[in-house]
Amino acid sequence: MNKAMTTPFESEVRETPAQPETSEAPAAAAGAGRKPAARPANGAVVPPPPADTIGLPSTLLDITPQQAGTQTLLRGLAILEAAAAGVRDLRTFGAALGTTRSTTHRLVSSLVQARYLRQVQGGYLLGPKLIELGTIALEQMPLTTVARPHLESLAELTHDTIHLGVRDGDDVLYIDKIPGTRGLEMRSRVGHRMPLASTGIGKAMMLDLVPDQWQSLFDASRRALAGVSFRPDNRPDQQTFMQRMTHYAAGGFTFDLEENEASIRCVAAPVRDASGSIVAALSVASTIPYMSLERMDELIPVVQREARAISEELGWRVPQPTTRRIKR
């Protein structure tokens, strides 16, 4: 590579010495009273753990043995993960990596120059380069492609009809469907639209909205279905609908209790992206003989598990507690 084209981080990777830096060893005073480092069969010395450690959401630095360049790369990635977890200052970065201040500063400075981090008053935040790469990653990961294996797993487990949908205005747009194996057929199809508030999958995409928006979408659903008759008519009134939505929002799931199609019930859960926003929903649907209220309750964690797995592939992470414990 032309030297003029070398990025700061690439330079850091190549220039890292082949042997571990002697400055990484703890000071004699700090190491007093510790047992000597164990020497495994290959003769390499395993240094004792640093005195100041912090939990990270990955085990990148546990990969051994490491080449010098690989170690630097993994340290850089660990810094990015620490920043994503809320770490802001050099001292805590160093505690997380077990590196000296000078090494930590060099790594962080390289990441700032390469725009993977940005320096602000009070510390460091993730940089714009990650936004660029994240956007490209999302473009290379279509929702239906990511979700399909999870839909198939759900279909195999339940034998029921599986839907995947996204919001389109006041409607849910079905973008994938796997028919059940019980010999039943529903009117839903890929490309079909139905009012959000009348379907379980649509209501799952309403869970983060405020009550006024629930009300507005409920009214829109009633207008859209004004000429449709249900026998029996199980469409809830406004008060019942609002009470149910409050219950659903607290539990992270929704039901369709024959509100969209007579004798059809479903259990649904939302799918989130890296920002935490609801971008889709999936559902398991069947007729009353196969979808008792007891079974619907049993399906809630099953449907949520697959929705959560899709969300994680889209970059969503389970919210972490705001407090962090640091061992000293």
pLDDT, one tens digit per residue, over 242-275 is 999 999 999 999 999 988 888 889 999 999 998 8
pLDDT at 124: 94
Name the pLDDT band for 182 (thresholds 50, 70, 90). Answer: confident
pLDDT exceeds 70 at position 119 = yes
Give the separation between CA 172 and CA 254, rounded to whole angstroms: 14
Query: Of the ranges 11-20, 193-202, 226-235, 308-317, which one carries the lowest mean pLDDT score?
Result: 11-20
Give the separation between CA 269 and CA 147, rounded to whole angstroms: 13
Element (DSSP H or E) covering residue 240: helix 238-251
Give the separation between CA 308 and CA 147, rounded to whole angstroms: 11
Instruction: With beta carbons less than 8 A apart as the criterion, state whether 204 and 245 touch.
Output: no
pLDDT at 231: 64
Name the pTM for this structure: 0.61
pLDDT at 196: 94
Name the pLDDT band for 34 (thresholds 50, 70, 90). Answer: very low
pLDDT exceeds 90 at position 212 = yes
pLDDT exceeds 70 at position 58 = no
pLDDT at 189: 85
CA distances from 254 to 60, 209, 221 (A): 38, 14, 16
Q: What is the DSSP string of 145-205?
A: HHHHHHHHHHHHHH-SEEEEEEEETTEEEEEEEE--SSS---S--TT-EEEGGGSHHHHHT
Q: What CATH number does domain 142-313 carry, 3.30.450.40, 1.10.150.20, 2.40.50.150, 3.30.365.10?
A: 3.30.450.40
Q: Determine the angle formed by the axes of helices 211-224 and 238-251, rounding to 10 degrees.
A: 130
| Domain boundary assignment for the chain | 3-136, 142-313
52 class by beta-carbon count within 10 Å (0-12 exposed, 13-18 middle, 19+ buried): middle
pLDDT at 114: 94
Give the separation between CA 44 and CA 40, rounded to whole angstroms: 6
- Who contacts 40 (Cβ-Cβ below 8 Å, separation ≥6)? 46
Q: Quickly name the fold that domain 3-136 has.
A: Arc Repressor Mutant, subunit A (1.10.10)
pLDDT at 12: 41
The more confidently predicted of residues 156 and 182 is: 156
Three-state DSSP at 35 gives: coil
- Report the chain's mean pLDDT, rounded to a whole number: 80
- Who contacts 6 (Cβ-Cβ below 8 Å, separation ≥6)? none
- Who contacts 199 (Cβ-Cβ below 8 Å, separation ≥6)? 165, 172, 256, 259, 260, 266, 268, 283
> Are both 3-136 and 142-313 of the same fold?
no
Give the separation between CA 92 and CA 101, rounded to whole angstroms: 10
Helices and strands per DSSP (H, E), number in the chain: 11, 10
pLDDT at 235: 85
